[in-house]
Amino acid sequence: MSDNGNIESILHEDRIFPPPEKFNDRIGGAYINSMEKYDEMYARSMEDPDGFWGEVADQLDWFERWDTVSSGAFPDAKWFEGGKTNVCHNCIDRQINMGHGDDTAIIWEGEPTIGSGGSGEVRTLTYHDLHVEVCKFANALKSQGVKKGDVVTIYMGMVPELAIATLACARIGAPHSVIFGGFSSQAIADRVEDAKSKVVVTCDGSWRRGKVVPLKYNVDAATELTDLIEKVIVVKRCENEIAWNDERDIWWHEVCENQEDECPCESMDAEDMLFLLYTSGSTGKPKGIIHTTGGYMVYTYLTSKWVFNLRPDTDQVYWCTADIGWITGHSYIIYGVLPNRVPTLMYEGAPNFPEPDRFWNIVERHKVTQFYTAPTAIRAFMKWGDEHPKKHDLSSLNLLGTVGEPINPEAWMWYREIIGGSNCPIVDTWWQTETGGQMLTPLPGATPTTPGSCTRPFFGVDAAIVQEDGTEVDTNSGGLLVVRKPWPGILRGIFGDRDRFVDTYFGRIDGMYLAGDSARVDENGNFWIMGRIDDVINVSGHRLGTMEVESSLVSHESVVEAAVVGVPHEIKGTGIAAFCTLAGGFEPSEELKQTLRKHVANEIGAIAKPDMLKFTDALPKTRSGKIMRRLLRDVAAGTDSKQDITTLEDFTVIAKLRAED
């Protein structure tokens, strides 16, 4: 049921840490400062969701007020219907209108050039600066024929223009589809086709550990795979050699040069699409998750504010280390943070380049106060050694966060002690691309935390653990994690696939949102995520469908059949194990293994490269022909959980697989 190897240690975890005193002192108090307050407010958010969320929405600007706060039920729940607003307005213009145009909006730290002593290029954008840049690019998009409702594809490195591009799209009502810069040209082409997107924004290249990631080259290759791409707008970042098509390609700086620095915000219906973001599911085809304007804006604004305790007019500098190519970057670098008027730090490079202390160097120099990262990064830091964080003054930190996968208690304790000086609350936030924002999370000034648990539901989130028939399981029993009431940030659909949307999330348990994770609730009311229930694995906090990897393996001429499962991995949490049967004429070899690994990286992206690849004459199957993945998981992990194999068709298959190596 689970790809997560930590369940044993989680079961025995009983350390409890109350919110540290220092936390409350340093920032002049937490918004939610006791469990009594949490309980009371949570009860209200359940009894009177419209009252609760209406008050939150009132903290932001609307061009026209909504008629109803919430309406409809799953799968067609709507929020703030009749309301008109613009997310970019609330991120930028609202701050300027309130007299804060000169406050810092974004601090950008580039990858260091080698030999610069670890300090990268730094660019700071105030709300005024951001306004100018966003308006110019919004006008540039319009000049290229982009209209409200047109999907703009964005495939960039972590440069300020990436944030500018997303905000410019939001400003003119053109939904963006950001594709992580690690994905392949095939992945770009697939997403462009699915979203019917004609304009792609990219960079010549992106810096990664002193090397150039050839983004423009990948887009060029994607144009060979689809005819849809009409315009490619290119940011000059690395000045690497690139091919140029005069008809199609335009430099960002040239197209922006003569644009007006004012561009009115499009008045958007609360339920108009804000963006599409592709994520993996249990079939081979990634799904385009739809988020809309009003509910997503309100939900990410409030979760950012209360989970990270964001306070304007203080010395706070907030840093989320995610890439904007993932939902974490959308919600917690840009959309939830800017309306809270706390500087959001964006970093271009890798955590260990030029040295393994790169992150701590940045924390010290920018006096970062809130730091949000993934367990896989924390495990890598642990491995690289305590001396790297210890070289730096990390005393500016007052809150630590994690997201993306279950965090093992060892990593949690290390994070708390070595990075947080045992003085910072850790918010372990559970959520998904589909949920728009954080769903299960401690509140830093209120919730006692326990290593490995994401603790409690956020306000308005009616989370429960149920069995297949929808009834709740007992304390500490594993079951399906569901949400029983709509919340403002919920996805509104899968682009172009209504049936898949309804089936995936609402088809299995009547009237509830099925998250796709298994979990349990302990005797203190704390939630513990156990793992995925579908054929999705979580590699370094990134979701991957095993079917996607299988499809790419069998697309190679040498592979007839492939099965992919997760295998416990020290740093990644879960690694990828692939079992392949070969076509006639192909022999197993180390070289073929490497060829196939490379093939997957070319087809999907480097994150999908199998960590372990085995050739086999046959895969273990039931008599009805289903591949028995649980057996393969055992083989990959080198364990034997004494599973029931009475339905296994050919008993020798497993013995052979185990005997190899």
Pick between residue 138 and residue 400 the one whose CB is nearest to ligand WT7: 400
Distance CA 103, CA 143 (A): 30
Size of the site for ligand WT7 (CB under 6 A): 23
Q: CB 507 → ligand WT7: shortest distance, Å?
A: 17
**Closest separation between CB of residue 401 and ligand WT7, Å?**
9
Q: Tokens for 287, please give them.
A: 């799904």
Task: Please report, as residue ranges, which positions from 374 to 433 form the binding site for ligand WT7 (by CB under 6 A).
Answer: 403-406, 428-433
Distances (CA, A) of 247 to 92, 185, 216, 230, 432: 34, 20, 15, 9, 39
Name the helix (H) or strand (E) containing 561.
strand 559-569
Query: What's the count of helices (H) and strands (E) in the chain, helices before strands?
Result: 22, 30
Choices 32-40, 45-53, 336-344, 538-546 (CB under 6 A): range interacting with ligand WT7: 538-546
Residue 527 makes contact with ligand WT7 by CB under 6 A: no
CA–CA dist 302, 309 (Å, integer): 10
Q: How far is the CB of 435 from ligand WT7 (least distance, A)?
A: 7
Determine which residue in the list 538, 552, 558, 574 makes contact with ligand WT7, applying CB under 6 A: 538
Asked whether 411 and 379 are in contact (CB, 8 A), the reply is: yes
- Residue 403 C-beta: closest distance to ligand WT7, Å: 5
Which residue from 490, 492, 433 is spatially nearest to 461, judged by alpha carbons?
490
What is the closest distance, in whole angstroms, from the C-beta atom of residue 408 to ligand WT7 in the complex? 11
Which segment (24-32, 492-500, 537-545, 633-641) binds ligand WT7 by CB under 6 A? 537-545
Least Cβ distance, residue 504 to ligand WT7 (angstroms): 12
Q: Which of residues 467-526 bind ligand WT7 (CB under 6 A)?
A: 515-517
241-300 residues in contact with ligand WT7 (CB under 6 A) are 279
Show the CA angle centred on residue 338, arms to residues 397 and 251, nearest 5°: 110
- Respond yes or no on whether the N-terminal peptide bond of residue 389 is cis (omega within 30° of 0): no
State yes or no: residue 323 binds ligand WT7 (CB under 6 A): no
| Residue-by-residue DSSP string for 488-549 | TT---EETT-HHHHHHHHHSSSTTSEEEEEEEEE-TTS-EEEEEESSSEEEETTEEEEHHHH
10 Å Cβ neighbour count for 219?
A: 26
Whichever of 311 and 543 has its CB closer to ligand WT7, that residue is: 543
Interface pick for ligand WT7 out of 218, 328, 455, 552 (rule CB under 6 A): 328
Nearer to ligand WT7, 179 or 232 (CB): 179
Beta strand spans in 52-130 (E):
68-71, 78-81, 84-85, 104-109, 122-126
Read off the tokens for 443. Answer: 């509140």
The answer to whether residue 327 forms part of the interface with ligand WT7 (CB under 6 A) is yes
Measure the CA–CA gap between 95 and 228, rounded to whole angstroms: 38
Q: How far is the CB of 311 from ligand WT7 (least distance, A)?
A: 24
Amino acid at 548: E
CB 396 within 8 A of CB 367: yes
Q: Does 543 bind ligand WT7 (CB under 6 A)?
A: yes
CB nearer to ligand WT7: pick between 356 and 375: 375
- Least separation in angstroms between CB 5 and ligand WT7: 13
Q: Tell the smallest beta-carbon distance from residue 619 to ligand WT7 (Å).
A: 26
529 scored as a contact of ligand WT7 (CB under 6 A): yes
Considering the complex, state which of residue 295 and residue 516 has its C-beta at the smaller distance from ligand WT7. Answer: 516
Say whether residue 321 binds ligand WT7 (CB under 6 A).
no
Q: Which 441-460 positions form the footprint of ligand WT7 (CB under 6 A)?
A: 454
Amino acid at 319: W
Q: Note whether 436 binds ligand WT7 by CB under 6 A.
A: no
DSSP three-state, residue 70: strand
Q: What residues line the site for ligand WT7 (CB under 6 A)?
A: 279, 327-328, 403-406, 428-433, 454, 515-517, 529, 532, 538, 541-543
